[in-house]
């Protein structure tokens, strides 16, 4: 039985961790490096660091943050947000990130996945797939959840796997920040369709939401943001409950 991973996500804007609802109305959650250290102490399995205002002029500041993060913690962490080329990914990995996560750029140019896998290996390449339900169908969305693409989420996930990505980070934009639980239907379908690991994201509001997603979908990892940042759930308590429910955790 594979052990399930618990992954806090740090959305970073102007050097601070923030959290919003459906990717808007952000509020400050703290210093990302200090928060990362706290999550390591709590027993997080990995971290995700997302540059949500990734622009050219701010990129250098963000790379400095990645470097500080790598120096401060001994824990794998993936970095995403505005990575649009092999060169962008190389800078992030050279700064100390364990993996890079690409999203909109991969949808616009799927060959980018192949190029990154060829250069860095599949284990370092995560493809983030943001989805919304449109007329009963799960569609891919890009540009921070703002633009719906006429691309079926499951079909895209299969293509991502075929192109060599090592992992999929699935976020339901309808559920993001709302704290009503993960999107169990699309998560379950994607896990069944793929052989590579899937991380469930978007909607964690309490410990039971993690129990449900692990029991009902066999997903590899559960990701949360504000539910961890504001102390509504602590990782030791969560792992204790998961163990009690018969779910293997590290």
User: Using an 8 Å Cβ cutoff, are 158 and 194 in contact?
Assistant: yes
Query: For the chain, how many structural domains are there in total?
Result: 1
- Tell me if 250 is assigned to some domain: no
- Tell me if 182 is assigned to some domain: yes
For the annotated catalytic residues, the residue numbers are: 11, 130
For residue 147, give both structure tokens: 């633009």
List Cβ neighbours of 181 (8 Å cut-off, separation of 6 or more): 175, 203, 204, 205, 209, 212, 213
Q: What is the predicted pLDDT for the residue at 228? A: 93
User: Using an 8 Å Cβ cutoff, are 176 and 159 in contact?
Assistant: no
User: Using an 8 Å Cβ cutoff, are 219 and 191 in contact?
Assistant: yes
- Tell me if 220 is assigned to some domain: yes
Tens-digit pLDDT profile for residues 196-227: 999 999 989 999 999 999 999 999 999 999 89
Give the position of tokens 């399995």: 45
- Tell me if 210 is assigned to some domain: yes
Q: What is the predicted pLDDT for the residue at 25? A: 59
Q: What is the predicted pLDDT for the residue at 207? A: 97
List average pLDDT for each run of 10 residues in the chain, which is 250 residues long: 92 79 62 94 96 66 92 97 94 97 96 98 97 94 87 98 98 75 96 98 94 97 92 95 96
Residue span of the structural domain in which 180 resides: 5-244
Measure the CA–CA gap between 212 and 114, rounded to whole angstroms.
Answer: 34
Q: What is the predicted pLDDT for the residue at 61? A: 72
CATH code assigned at 163: 3.20.20.70
- Tell me if 249 is assigned to some domain: no
Nearest Cα to Cα of residue 227 among 167, 176, 170? 176
- Tell me if 35 is assigned to some domain: yes
């Amino acid at each position: 039985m594979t052990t399930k991973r618990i992954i806090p996500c740090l959305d970073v804007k102007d050097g601070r961790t923030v959290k919003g609802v459906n990717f808007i109305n952000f509020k400050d959650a703290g210093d990302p490096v200090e928060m990362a250290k706290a999550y390591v102490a709590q027993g997080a399995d990995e971290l995700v660091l997302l540059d949500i205002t990734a622009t050219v002029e701010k990129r250098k500041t963000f790379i400095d943050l990645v470097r500080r993060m790598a120096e401060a913690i001994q824990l794998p962490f993936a970095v995403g947000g505005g990575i649009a080329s092999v060169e962008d990914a190389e800078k992030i990995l050279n700064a100390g990130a364990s993996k890079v996560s690409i999203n909109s750029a991969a949808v616009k140019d799927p060959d980018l996945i192949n190029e990154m896998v060829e250069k860095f290996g599949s284990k370092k390449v995560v493809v983030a797939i943001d989805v919304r339900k449109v007329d009963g169908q799960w569609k891919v969305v890009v540009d921070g959840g703002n633009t719906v693409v006429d691309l079926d989420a499951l079909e895209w996930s299969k293509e991502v796997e075929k192109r060599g990505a090592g992992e999929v980070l699935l976020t339901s934009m309808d559920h993001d920040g709302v704290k009503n639980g993960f999107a169990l239907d699309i998560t379950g379908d994607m896990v069944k369709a793929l052989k590579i690991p899937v991380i469930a994201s978007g909607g964690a509001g309490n410990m039971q939401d993690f129990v449900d997603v692990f029991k009902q979908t066999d997903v590899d990892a559960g990701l949360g943001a504000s539910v961890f940042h504001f102390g509504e759930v602590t990782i030791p308590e969560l792992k204790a409950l998961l163990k009690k429910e018969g779910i293997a955790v590290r």
